[in-house]
Structure 1
Amino acid sequence: MSDGAMDRVAKATPPRIARKIKGMSDRTVAWLFVAPTIFLLLAINIFPLVWTIRLSFTNFRANRLNREVEWVGLRNYERILTDSDIWLNMQATAHFLFWTIFFQVLIGFTLAYLINKNFRGSPFWTTVIVLPMMLSPAVVGNFWKFLYQPQIGLFNYIVGYFTGRDPSSFEMLGQVDLAPWSIVIVDTWMWTPFVMLICLAGLRSIPDYIYEAAEIDRASKLRQFLTITIPMVLPFLMLAVLFRGIENFKMFDLVVQLTGGGPGSTTELTSINLKREAFEKWRTGYASAYAIILFVTVFGLASIYVKALNKVKER
């Protein structure tokens, strides 16, 4: 701001307010600027969390506002933790998490390692590889659902070719053994570029002189890869696993677009079950307890993982 503009602002400020501002310390002025942000955080994040915790101890139903709300204590938590269907949903979620992260890290790191070689046309292929992660999950879900169609779907013909079955005789997404893997394939296709970019940043942060020193010591390429590349990229890999683990734990839209995540199916993840309890059965208090259990699970695992990540960085 120019001196003239500052003078005009000073003249336009009422004398009473100007005296108050002039008498404030820098700390007070800083708090005045930060206060709106703190208020928004409290209103958007903290208050809903506290309200959800309160509702988790009641039998409140959002579609029955006139109904008397009863305090049920820990009954909702007890019912959730002893429900065999919920544990099956947890297993389906764990299966989805493990295989998506495994394939995304494996393929993402391999692509990053190849692109880091700076071969001819690498910028073009980097752009092509990154395109899937820029699409909406709804668009990706509809696109891959078309590929999975029994009559015209590409993947049914591939599976039918290797299994010797008629491609039109089965629906890939309807098969109990294939439905979870169809989601793993789509999520891997969409988010492997994200892992690749993180790994690529890690690879390009390694100074060249380290490899030059290793070559002077006559270290083989495999030795350099195991003792230099992997240890120095490991923090970036762990960071990618953390991001993708949190995102996939709450995966919802892509699964619904592909399979519907029907009740009792092998693709009913915890996020889908939570939505069903909250907005289809309207068991708001029960769903609140469910959400708190998931929040504590994710927060606890993430905290342990971050501590391990910090120890790796300190090495």
Structure 2
Amino acid sequence: MSDKTINRVAKATPRRLARKVRGLSDRAITWIFVGPTIFLLLAINIFPLIWTINLSFTNFKANRINRAVDYIGLRNYERILTDGDIWLSMQATAHFLFWTIFFQVLIGFTLAWLINRKFKGNDIWTTIIVLPMMLSPAVVGNFWTFLYQPQIGLFNYVVAFFTGADPSSFEMLGSVDLAPWSIVIVDTWMWTPFVMLICLAGLRSIPDYIYEAAEVDRASKLRQFFTITIPMVMPFLMLAVLFRGIENFKMFDLVVQLTGGGPGSTTELASINLKREAFEKWRTGYSSAFAIILFVTVFGLASIYVKALNKVKER
């Protein structure tokens, strides 16, 4: 900004305001600009968390506002930790997390490695592969529901082609054994491009002179892959696992669109169980305690994982 512009602004500023601004320190001016943001963060994030913690110690029900609210201590937490259905939903969530992350990392890294070879038309293929990630989960859920239909579903005909079975003789979403895998397939199809982009950024961040030095030392391609590529891409892989793990732990919309997440089913994840307790049974205090347990679980695991990620970066 030129001196002329500064002088014009100074002359246009009212004298009272100019005196007040001159009397403020740099720290005061900083708080004037940062203060509203901090207030919004407290109002949007911190206050609901504190209110949820407070409700978790009560028997409050949102559909009975006029009912007297009693503080029952840790009774909600005791019921949750001793509820067999809760542990089954946590087990289903762990199963879903492990397999979705496993396939997404494996396929995503493979696609990133192939695209990084810079063949002709790789930009077009990158755009095509990324398309599923740009769709809404509700659209993806409805789309794959039609593919899984036993009579008209294209997916069943593809499976029948390779197995020789009658496509109308089985229903993937209706099978207790296959329903969880149907969700794993859809989530992998949708979010593998996200992992691919992160891995591709990691691969393209590796300097070419490292591979050139390895070739001078007569290192084979396989040795270069395991001693250069994997160690240098590992922080990006771990970052992708962190992002997808947090997102899939609270997976809700895609599962409901595909299976409905019915009670007692193998697709009843922890997030769906939480929704049922809060908005179907209206056990607000109980569901608040459940939400706090899930929050502490995710926060604790993520903190441990971030420490491991930082150690990998320091190597």
Find out whether 1:77 has 2:77 as its counterpart.
Answer: yes
Q: CA deviation digits over 1:85-110, x for unaligned, max 9?
A: 01000010000000000000000000
| Residue 178 (str. 1) matches residue 184 (str. 2) | no
- Which residue is equivalent to 2:144? 144
Which residue identity is paired with 1:30? T
**What TM-score do you get using the length of structure 2 for normalisation?**
0.97
Q: Distance in 1 between matches of 2:264 and 2:242?
A: 29
Distance (whole Å) between structure 2 residues aligned to residue 41 and residue 17 of structure 1: 29
| Deviation per residue, 1:127-163 (Å, 9 max, x gap) | 1001110111011111111101110101212333444
204-213 or 9-18, larger mean C-alpha shift: 9-18
Instruction: Determine the structure 1 residue equivalent to 2:160.
Output: 160
Question: What corresponds to 1:17 in structure 2?
Answer: 17
| 2:101 alignment partner in structure 1 | 101
Separation in structure 1 between the aligned mates of residue 306 and residue 224 of structure 2, nearest angstrom: 27
Q: Which residue of 2 aligns with 1:195?
A: 195
Residue pairs, 1:295-306, within 5 angstroms: 295-306=295-306
Question: Are 1:307 and 2:310 an aligned pair?
Answer: no
- CA displacement, residues 231-256 of structure 1 (integer Å, 9 cap, x when unaligned): 00000000000000000000011111
Verify: 1:215 aligned to 2:234, yes or no: no
Structure 2: which amino acid aligns with 1:254?
L
Report the Cα offset of residue 203 of structure 1: 0.3
Q: Distance in 2 between matches of 1:55 and 1:2?
A: 57
Range 166-175 or range 59-68, more displaced: 166-175
**AA in 2 matched with 1:159:** V
Identify the range of structure 1 (7-16 vs 138-147) with the bigger mean alpha-carbon deviation: 7-16
The alpha-carbon deviation at position 168 of structure 1 amounts to: 1.2
Q: 1:234: which partner in 2?
A: 234
Flag as ranges the 4+ runs of structure 1 deviating above 6 A: 1-5
- Whole-Å separation in 2 of the counterparts to 1:23 and 1:99: 61
* Cα shift readout 1:58-102 (whole Å, capped 9, x = no counterpart): 001111110000001000000000000010000100000000000
The change in CA–CA distance for 1:9 and 1:66 in structure 2 (over 3 A counts) is farther
Instruction: For 1:110 and 1:52, locate their aligned partners in 2 and report how far apart those are by CA, in whole Å.
Output: 42
Q: CA deviation at 1:171?
A: 1.8
Residues 204-249 of structure 1 show CA distances to partners (whole Å, capped at 9, x for unaligned) of 0000000000000000000000100000000000000000000000
* 1:165 shift after superposition: 3.2
Cα distance between partner residues in 1 of 2:304 and 2:47 = 26
Residue matched to 1:29: 29
TM-score by length of 1: 0.97
CA distance change for structure 1 residues 51 and 224 in 2, over 3 Å: closer, same or farther? same
* Unaligned runs of at least 5 residues, structure 2: none
CA deviation after TM superposition for structure 1 residue 167, in Å: 1.4
RMSD value, Cα: 1.4
> Which residue does the alignment assign to 1:261?
261
- Corresponding residue for residue 169 of structure 1: 169
2: CA distance, partners of 1:14 / 1:294: 54
Q: Which residue of 2 aligns with 1:280?
A: 280
How many aligned residue pairs are there? 315
Separation of aligned partners in 1, 2:281 and 2:7: 62
Residue ranges of structure 1 left out of the alignment (5+ in a row) = none
Amino-acid identity (%):
86
Q: Aligned partner of 1:123: which letter?
A: D
Give me the whole-angstrom Cα distance separating, in 2, the residues matched to 1:145 and 1:7: 66
